[in-house]
Amino acid sequence: MEFSDPPMSKRGVRSERWINIVKELKANPNMWAIVGTFSPGVATQIRRGEFPAFVEGCTIDPKVYMDMNWEITTRKVSEGRSNNLWIRWIGES
């Protein structure tokens, strides 16, 4: 047995990858972009406003903010359980 403190929680940490994705999407409003292949849960978490990069500066409920400013859709990859993830910024620039 080993005694140690648990690692810092990653919840609420802004990933540079997602920060850059958000910047690119906002620079190209209303244009769909495929941002990668992920498990289905990633799209759900983004829709709920659980990715800080998408809701930075948000002053309302993150889920409401996401519904008002972002569109997200997925398509199942032919093999496996992953989905291609498309996102577009529909908010005001």
The 10s digit of each residue's pLDDT in 32-66 is: 999 999 998 999 999 999 999 999 888 899 999 99
Question: What is the extent of the structural domain holding 43?
Answer: 32-89
Contact call for residues 75 and 40 (beta carbons, < 8 A):
no
Mean pLDDT over residues 60-84, rounded?
92
d(CA 67, CA 49): 9
Q: Is residue 25 assigned to a domain?
A: no
22 occurs within a structural domain = no
62 membership: H or E segment, kind and range? helix 62-69
Paired with 36 in beta bridges are 85
Asked if residue 5 belongs to a domain, the reply is no
Would you say the pTM of this structure is higher than 0.85?
no
Whether 64 maps to a domain, the answer reads yes
CA dist 69 → 5, 6, 38, 59, 72 (Å): 39, 36, 21, 13, 10
Q: Say if residues 60 and 19 touch (Cβ distance below 8 Å).
A: no
Report the number of distinct structural domains present in the chain.
1
